[in-house]
Amino acid sequence: MTSPDSRGLPPDSELKRDMPLVPPDSIAGRALIVVIAIMTFLACLTAGGAILVAEASEGWRAEVSRDVTIQVKPRPGEDADTLVAAAAAIAASAPGVADVHAYSNAESEKLLAPWLGEGFDLGQLPIPRLIIVHMQSGRRDDLQPLREALSARAPEANLDDHRQWLARLDTMANAVVVFAAALFALMIVAMATAIGFATRGAMAGAREIIEVLHFVGATDSYVARQFQGHFLRLGLRGAAIGGMAAALFFALAALFSGWGGQSAGGEEIASLFGAFELGALGYIAILAICLGIAGLTGFLSRQIVFRQLRSLL
Amino acid sequence: MLRFENVGLRYGIGPEVVRDLNFDIAPQSFQFLTGPSGAGKTTMLRLMLLSLRPTRGAIRIFGEDAASLDKDAITALRRRIGVVFQDFRLLDHLTTYENVALPLRVMERSESGYRAEVVELLRWVGLGDRMNALPPVLSGGEKQRAAIARALIVRPELLLADEPTGNVDPSLARRLLRLFVELHKSGTAVVIATHDLGLMDQFGYARRLVVGDGQLKVFEGDSL
């Protein structure tokens, strides 16, 4: 046991003196932590989902814009293999082309097997043959020499640069990101409202404390600081819980998508969200959201406390 | 130091609960504020503490017109006033030490700077061994002494006490009164609201401010 000092004062360890002026634990406080944790979790999921879609759509765009397709439609009596070989040769010699792959008869039949079944004769059907051309870059201008060469030397070949498909992808990805941003904004508004109600509730519960603080000479800004600190601590606890839950969710989702990636559903999800790996940017965003929400909680409570204090004498 | 001139107060559109109050509290004076229950003693103390604004008349406090003061100025004046509430108004989640140190804490003085003062005062009022106790476990008398210590810790120029002996036995009441007398001798003006005639008779030299029917009569100590 520590002994008193020479003036007979009790030592630090024997004197309780650090209790905040606003009681740290109350039912309203715990309820607010739960609300903030849930809202932070949902906000992080929304933001993380938007980041995943945005990153995945960048990937799709880069992938799709570098690939173009040449469709060769042989007229009756023409030998499809010869035309395909000629068009592939033109493509291979065009500037900016990295790789050319002409689908063989067997590959084309395999491609169509899910719709037409096994063992059909592709030569009997008016189906174009495909040549996949992988460009060195995704720039549209690089396609012009290839387009001109095909038009001059292989008029039965048609170049598809996937522009329409890309435009749809762009629209869809942007719509998802805008929707996520709107959802995020709504959640922030809902959370701000919840914080406002909780602060007013806590103020009502702490009215006697505020009166006593006033009577013993506390200024409004001092009282407001006590409440701001209290709500900042609640906000940090709630945001930390929600943020960690969201980070855990994304980590587990990445793990499970790795395991389930071989299934048909897994491939669909992987094509939309990539490998579900959030990356450093995503986790930084989660941290920023947590800090932002805690700060918002402290700021809003200060404003509300000041407004209510102004109404007291 | 405190002057009421034709002060009246009504709540909403109701009748005036106090009216035509004219008196002053001189520095280093000692007075009882008395009258039957519900006569308006607590209301008058709240007017003196500037926690109520009069609906008419003027209050001058420490040379200032109360009507012209903003909130910060009122706060600065309150730091020169000690107040003991009838229901103590101790904060239940703070220890006795923290409650008594509260006026110094809100002035943002460092805890190490005021610890000696607070501990000394707590020992003086007999709460030296209850410093870490929370108010809910204190007896009525202990709460009363803690509330008084909180009012005295800033060495106020004016002390307002609302029934400070209302919850204690007669011997403790006398001890607490002696505490106020000591404070008065050290230069503080003291206003004690009470309806305990026996208690007032022990201090015949004190002025009596008698409130009844919303009006006030002042009896100087010598005239008793």
CA B213 to chain centre: 22
d(CA A226, CA A232): 10
Closest by Cβ to A10, choosing from B72, B89, B131: B131
Instruction: Give me the amino acid identity at A69.
Output: T
Instruction: Give me the amino acid identity at A180.
Output: A
Helix (H) or strand (E) holding A24: none
Contact A33, A202 (CB under 8 A): no
| Residue B224 Cα, gap to closest chain A Cα (Å) | 34
Among A6, A14, A17, which would you mutate to test the B interface (most chain B Cβ atoms within 10 Å of its Cβ)? A17
Chain A residues within 8 A of B108 when measuring between CB atoms: 222
Please choose, from the candidates A198, A197, A238, the residue with its C-alpha nearest in 3D space to the C-alpha of residue A40: A238
CA B223 to chain centre: 24
Helix ranges (DSSP H) in A127-219 = 144-153, 163-205, 207-215
d(CA A267, CA B69): 72
- % of chain A at pLDDT higher than 90: 10
- What's the average model confidence in pLDDT over A87-114? 84
Maximum distance among all alpha carbons in chain A? 114
Q: Which residues of A187-214 are buried (b: 16+ CB within 10 A; e: fewer)?
A: bbeebbebbeebbbbbbeebeebbebbb
- Assign B224 a pLDDT band (cuts: 50, 70, 90): very low
d(CA A105, CA A107): 6
Low-confidence winner among A121-135, A242-256, B180-194 (lowest mean pLDDT): A121-135
Selection from A141-145, A258-262, B204-208 with the highest mean pLDDT: B204-208
- pLDDT, tens digit, 9 for 90 and up, residues B120-171: 999 988 899 999 999 999 988 899 889 999 999 998 999 999 988 776 777 7
Residue found by looking up tokens 């201090």 in the block: B203
Main-chain phi, psi angles of B218, to 5 degrees: -110, 125
A148: phi > 0 → left, psi -120 to 50 → alpha, else beta; which?
alpha
d(CA A302, CA B82): 28
pLDDT of residue A1: 44
Query: From chain B, which residues contact A within 8 Å (Cβ)?
Result: 49-53, 71-72, 74-76, 78-79, 83, 85, 89, 91, 93-95, 97-98, 101-103, 105-108, 111, 115-116, 119, 131-132, 150, 154
Contact A91, A133 (CB under 8 A): yes
Residues 164-223 of A with CB under 8 A from B: 208-209, 211-220, 222
Q: Say whether pLDDT at A135 is over 80.
A: yes
Q: What is the rounded (10 degree) CA torsion for A302, A306, A308, A313?
A: 150
d(CA B146, CA A240): 40
- Which runs of E-coded beta strand occur in chain A? 67-72, 97-102, 129-135, 157-160
- Is the Cβ of A9 closer than 8 Å to some Cβ of chain B? yes
Instruction: Give me the amino acid identity at A230.
Output: H
- pLDDT, tens digit, 9 for 90 and up, residues B81-104: 999 988 899 999 999 999 999 999
Q: Say whether pLDDT at B79 is over 60.
A: yes
Mean pLDDT of chain B: 89
- Burial class (CB within 10 angstroms; exposed 0-12, middle 13-18, buried 19+) of A218: buried
| Residue B95 Cα, gap to closest chain A Cα (Å) | 7
Number of Cβ within 10 Å of residue B84's Cβ equals: 24
Q: Say whether pLDDT at B36 is over 80.
A: yes
Q: A24: nearest CA in chain B? A: B93
Query: What ipTM was predicted for this assembly?
Result: 0.87
**What does DSSP assign to residue A22?**
S
- What's the average model confidence in pLDDT over A118-130? 76
Query: Quick one: angle between helices A220-260 and A279-310, nearest 10?
Result: 150
**What does DSSP assign to residue B52?**
S
Selection from B16-20, B93-97, B213-217 with the highest mean pLDDT: B93-97
Query: Pick the residue with more confidence: B150 or A199?
Result: B150
Selection from A106-115, A199-208, B91-100 with the highest mean pLDDT: B91-100
Low-confidence winner among A258-267, B48-57, B151-160, B199-208 (lowest mean pLDDT): A258-267
pLDDT of residue A261: 56
Q: Say whether pLDDT at A48 is over 80.
A: yes
Please choose, from the candidates B211, B167, B172, the residue with its C-alpha nearest in 3D space to the C-alpha of residue B193: B211
d(CA B182, CA B172): 15
- What's the average model confidence in pLDDT over B178-196? 88
- Assign A273 a pLDDT band (cuts: 50, 70, 90): low
Selection from A8-22, A87-101, A257-271 with the highest mean pLDDT: A87-101
Q: Say whether pLDDT at A157 is over 50.
A: yes
